[in-house]
Structure 1
């Protein structure tokens, strides 16, 4: 199948220019959406450049007319987490325009937004009940507090302790990019009374665990029961063992306060994402079945709240949903899931288990369903995210926004396509190639061989804000990305196959895939290639250096694991290495050492660029420093770049520009790709 690059027509006399990281950073982003209860309108937030600064505002678009979007807000700052009031007459959102993150309400009939909350702490997120009269608030406070007065006093006391030593008596002492500070995400419930809130009640008081879980979960893990009398949420039980298990459960607590009840005590694996049908009869959620395994397939579970029956929906469907919503008929669940290099939206009949794809190529994310309309976003390797709608049958798809259309029309990108080959054990493996921008028939081009992280992940057919493959294509490279054994979206057996075999099947796939794509696409000069990867992809750079030392002209290692023994001792989520390698280091030492890059540094000779964030506590900085020390001491051409304020990812836009300057410059230096890029201009 051919996946051609979409482009808008440019005015006569103008030509497109290859995209740069500066162009990527200047694109607008769609960051919050809400579908009206009747499905006739959508409100969304756009973050875009306004001169030299970025501005975020809300817009409303009618879905029943051809009217232009209506801008709703003009205040400086950011509006986020926009949600419709169930009556459809206005929207709520979070904003820090008053000095801290608080809840605001904007009537759609006209008038200014009004501040609904005035709490002494920031509101991180919120969820409304079915009537819009109650709101659950996510606040980060001292878990010993059952009211906000206590939380404020505790916060003030902590300010006086700045500079003092931190005391810990359990793991995790740090998580992702933050040291433990004794605070927890907690849920408060309040009543919306006119233009203000009642005194919020901490319904998770005494539950010394994060609700929702840290570091990435939000209020998608919280749901009001249809009658508004209870909250159901995802959390681990309080305890000292959070660092080495994945036993997240669904809990239920009265909105008036009381003891939380564990709804899924029998499943010692991961339960998540509770949703209720509108008629109140069904509760659906996602559940893994293997304890300690964060990359297990999420199954769809359904409980009939009238009969008490619990069943798995579509048990034979070998995909892992990322989110789910009930359609209005209550017998259909809408889900998104990775599928053969795409992220596809599916409709699943809860009665019979029939699964039907609603979207095709590209990466789609479900945003809402109401009336006869599904709201979703779409992007692919040539287009950033835009908002779309379709009917419940997956027909009449309509693009609703074109926030980057004008900017993208000025940029030249590379044509791309998916390919397949026989990998490990002659099993089918998929990948993508991208032609350089300005590709000339008959020319050959150096290769940027990008290896994804995870390791259970996928680059796939999507637009990436950090590892954007088109930036290598516009720098003169042919790009190759392979979804090796262990990648997601190809069935659970394929995903699971990397566990306890990090350096085995994946390396074979990468070697066979590079050779195969070179034969299929002779314009790719696979003998003039550099490889780059982050996290597990960075691990693979260290592994390649010792196992495939003649494979590449250079390597780029971002936040890569270098020594599996020391990694186990300093990472935070111990359940990850303990599952991947079969236990703790002392219980599974042979497995850790079998695929440990440090054991093969005697064979290293490939020039390597090492990049790392100092606040990376998943793969701590010392892993990158150790690799760089070896490279320097062995007199292998090498460079190191460290960002003191970045974590596992490079999030600051100025730092991202510096990152690409080093990465592309390094790869061009060893492959002469810069001359190819200049020749195409």
Structure 2
């Protein structure tokens, strides 16, 4: 059925299916993806593996099973995927579209431990190399928590950092990359089970306990569907597998090397890549403290057969003059060349990644340095944006990169030859909304399948031909441009305002550059109610982003979605002040040793611009909300004149006192942002300390702080709440014992939204409690549910397929 929201509420946001990027097959005719959704009625999650016909935009369900994930093509019609039944093991399974309508999942191998982040590379017609990720024990074997011996003490003892990171205490186990080789054989020739550990009895027990379910093929009768579903309600079978895992199964690439990949806490599949020449990955420098230095290196391990049980030692790629964070390694299609990102400073996690090229990976073992695109003598680099990930063209003559610019994540294109690229800067290919992913489409690779989002659409699949035709062809819009959520693109707006100098408006982007008057331009995004009337006035909701090196983007979010506030009746304004990314490094770096200075003045100037220029905004009923650094700014605003401009404030996991920054885990962050250690540069820590001005706190404030937040411990929120209560300021404290710096669990997120919206609505004068309006499946006329096929049926899915940020919030 077509999902249609009567009103975009928190329940609609959190119930909407979330779609992963599309993965096209070798012909470019079909794409695989998964869709997950949460039901507040059954308090459970469902997951589907779906198949998209790229030409028509129609999709069909292949499997529905919450245990299935990461479908990955190994041929034109065959794909492999992971299944995670209850317990500590992972099943590597396969399926073949040629078997439709009787598609059957078949087990290839039972892997002890939890495996994820699958990548494959075709070595020949019937041979595929694969790499994936799992936690390893110190002896190099997979970690299976269900197989661990019982402990009789809860003690933890440390003599080095980290003690804890993000939301967990550090253990002796580490992430690792595992590799192996799959070889195709004829169907029906045996069980096809290659394993790292595991046994038949465990597999039989799992089969008895689990009943995976898949949808029947489209067009089948109800009776046929029931028969097919009953037939398929079992664990992936161990007979008739077409692919087998060669040799001794999967091998730990990093065993005994003292390296960890993916890099915690946000690292994933983008931290490594696979080619027929070997595996490249990034890992923290083992010679430096991970809490004090953000340095990671890019390494290469040459592999020939992918059945090697003792892989060569990883070799770091040399990058003279660059000692910071390395990211997003990507092999060229032939496997000879490698591109990746590398920052300059080893204590600045949000420095600009330079684009680095290894022309011949064989020379890495000889110590040959990588070449830097757009290098300059001063070391700043000629491209002033921050690329996040890379993609090669099929002919290897072009490179694509994703980088933020002016509130969007843009897909850029440039020559793969360093000398040719030096004649100009990258050209934008997709500049609307925010691009999450791009894949080469078809055998010639002249087209791209791009996955993107916007503030009104949770997932868009588009086709673009960069050289021939810059026009974007939308294959599948998850919400029909927002209409399925009751939203429209007309609600989105933006403006620029002057800051840092004489207060004046600016209609053109300045990317944070200074001018003769000492000022600079600052950008802000706007989301209006769907029933917006320019003749009416709407209360202001100012949203302050975290990071602080981050930005509000024209993209979808399930945690801080501006449309949620707009549909309550606010005009949501999202400024990107000093410290924001995507406007050049001068604006971003302007926050260093200046946390409460330039960014605060930017917000003051933004508020004054709204008062002066946006007649439809009622600033007498304004509220402000922020998380992480945005929460710091809420506490800073409380103690300063801008705080009296707001009727209510909301601080999520914010900083109460900058003198407490050493209770955090990534210490290189305050060392950089405050210009040194607490004992070497204490004056700066004290200058921008919100607690110094707590005697001025007077505006009603809601505080949310979670117990698993080890980035900014819960004591920060409790201290702020204690001050507010002691001063008699109306205040409320909300905590989630099982959440970290973010609120991710759907039921908790529903409470979060309810508490936040009720708080600001009470003080802004917007009447009513929050209604948990669910999706309506009724037709526009007659009130009867309508069933639709094809592209409209595809709109049942909504996405939150964004990459986890490296930055702090």
Give the structure-2-normalised TM-score. 0.77
Report whether the alignment pairs 1:259 with 2:325: no
Would the alpha carbon gap of residues 556 and 156 (structure 1) be closer, same or farther in structure 2, given more than 3 Å must change? closer
- Per-residue deviation, 1:130: 3.5
1:90-169 correspondence to structure 2 within 5 Å: 90-97=78-85, 100-110=89-99, 111-131=103-123, 132-142=127-137, 144-148=138-142, 158-161=148-151, 163-169=153-159
1:643-658 correspondence to structure 2 within 5 Å: 643-658=736-751
Q: Is the 8 A contact 1:19 1:471 kept in 2?
A: yes
| Equivalent residue number for residue 435 of structure 1 | 528
Q: State the SS of the aligned residue for 1:300.
A: strand
| Equivalent residue number for residue 198 of structure 2 | none
- Per-residue deviation, 1:207: 2.5
| Equivalent residue number for residue 789 of structure 2 | none
- Mean CA deviation greater in 464-473 or 199-208: 199-208
Q: State the SS of the aligned residue for 2:621.
A: strand
| Equivalent residue number for residue 282 of structure 1 | 337
| Equivalent residue number for residue 89 of structure 1 | 77
Report whether the alignment pairs 1:338 with 2:386: no
Would the alpha carbon gap of residues 676 and 631 (structure 1) be closer, same or farther in structure 2, given more than 3 Å must change? closer
Distance in structure 1 (CA, Å) of the matches to 2:651 and 2:728: 17
Q: Is the 8 A contact 1:30 1:386 kept in 2?
A: no
- Mean CA deviation greater in 603-612 or 118-127: 118-127
Q: Is the 8 A contact 2:23 2:72 kept in 1?
A: yes
Would the alpha carbon gap of residues 531 and 260 (structure 1) be closer, same or farther in structure 2, given more than 3 Å must change? same
Would the alpha carbon gap of residues 675 and 102 (structure 1) be closer, same or farther in structure 2, given more than 3 Å must change? closer
| Equivalent residue number for residue 472 of structure 2 | 397
Distance in structure 2 (CA, Å) of the matches to 1:419 and 1:519: 13
- Per-residue deviation, 1:526: 1.4
| Equivalent residue number for residue 457 of structure 2 | 383
Q: Is the 8 A contact 1:170 1:240 kept in 2?
A: no
Distance in structure 2 (CA, Å) of the matches to 1:190 and 1:162: 37
C-alpha distance after superposition, 1:12-44 (max 9, x if no partner): xxxx74311011112111125312233332111
Distance in structure 1 (CA, Å) of the matches to 2:152 and 2:615: 61
C-alpha distance after superposition, 1:131-182 (max 9, x if no partner): 253222311021x21345xx56xx5774411642112121111111111121
- Per-residue deviation, 1:126: 2.6
Would the alpha carbon gap of residues 454 and 162 (structure 1) be closer, same or farther in structure 2, given more than 3 Å must change? farther
Q: 2:645 aligns with which of 530, 546, 551?
A: 551
Distance in structure 1 (CA, Å) of the matches to 2:612 and 2:324: 44
Would the alpha carbon gap of residues 330 and 655 (structure 1) be closer, same or farther in structure 2, given more than 3 Å must change? same
Between the two proteins, the alignment pairs up a number of residues equal to: 655
Would the alpha carbon gap of residues 364 and 538 (structure 1) be closer, same or farther in structure 2, given more than 3 Å must change? same
C-alpha distance after superposition, 1:92-139 (max 9, x if no partner): 222214753332222221241222221221113232233253222311
Q: Is the 8 A contact 1:287 1:301 kept in 2?
A: yes
Q: State the SS of the aligned residue for 2:639.
A: helix
Q: Is the 8 A contact 2:94 2:108 kept in 1?
A: yes
Report whether the alignment pairs 1:178 with 2:253: no
Distance in structure 2 (CA, Å) of the matches to 1:420 and 1:412: 24
- Per-residue deviation, 1:49: 5.5
Would the alpha carbon gap of residues 206 and 107 (structure 1) be closer, same or farther in structure 2, given more than 3 Å must change? same
C-alpha distance after superposition, 1:167-219 (max 9, x if no partner): 21211111111111211011222222443324222221112332111111112
Q: Is the 8 A contact 2:282 2:297 kept in 1?
A: yes
Distance in structure 1 (CA, Å) of the matches to 2:97 and 2:86: 21
Q: State the SS of the aligned residue for 2:95.
A: strand
Distance in structure 2 (CA, Å) of the matches to 1:676 and 1:515: 30
Q: 1:489 aligns with which of 582, 586, 609?
A: 582
Q: 2:448 aligns with which of 360, 370, 374?
A: 374
Would the alpha carbon gap of residues 249 and 309 (structure 1) be closer, same or farther in structure 2, given more than 3 Å must change? closer
- Per-residue deviation, 1:528: 1.8
- Per-residue deviation, 1:625: 0.4
C-alpha distance after superposition, 1:377-420 (max 9, x if no partner): 12212221222221233535222224444984362567121101
1:530-569 correspondence to structure 2 within 5 Å: 530-548=623-641, 549-566=643-660, 568-569=661-662
| Equivalent residue number for residue 13 of structure 1 | none
Q: State the SS of the aligned residue for 2:636.
A: helix
C-alpha distance after superposition, 1:606-645 (max 9, x if no partner): 1111001110111111100010011111111110000110
Q: 2:617 aligns with which of 505, 524, 541?
A: 524
1:544-623 correspondence to structure 2 within 5 Å: 544-548=637-641, 549-566=643-660, 568-623=661-716
Q: Is the 8 A contact 1:546 1:603 kept in 2?
A: yes
Would the alpha carbon gap of residues 166 and 479 (structure 1) be closer, same or farther in structure 2, given more than 3 Å must change? same
- Per-residue deviation, 1:677: 11
Q: 2:50 aligns with which of 46, 52, 59?
A: 59
Q: Is the 8 A contact 2:354 2:373 kept in 1?
A: yes
1:171-250 correspondence to structure 2 within 5 Å: 171-194=161-184, 195-197=243-245, 198-199=247-248, 200-227=250-277, 230-239=278-287, 241-250=289-298
Give the structure-1-normalised TM-score. 0.91
Distance in structure 2 (CA, Å) of the matches to 1:578 and 1:9: 49
- Per-residue deviation, 1:560: 0.3
- Per-residue deviation, 1:260: 2.0
Q: Is the 8 A contact 1:249 1:262 kept in 2?
A: yes
Would the alpha carbon gap of residues 578 and 358 (structure 1) be closer, same or farther in structure 2, given more than 3 Å must change? same
Would the alpha carbon gap of residues 300 and 671 (structure 1) be closer, same or farther in structure 2, given more than 3 Å must change? same
C-alpha distance after superposition, 1:581-621 (max 9, x if no partner): 11221111111111011111111111111001110111111
Report whether the alignment pairs 1:34 with 2:52: no
| Equivalent residue number for residue 4 of structure 1 | none
Q: Is the 8 A contact 1:21 1:471 kept in 2?
A: yes
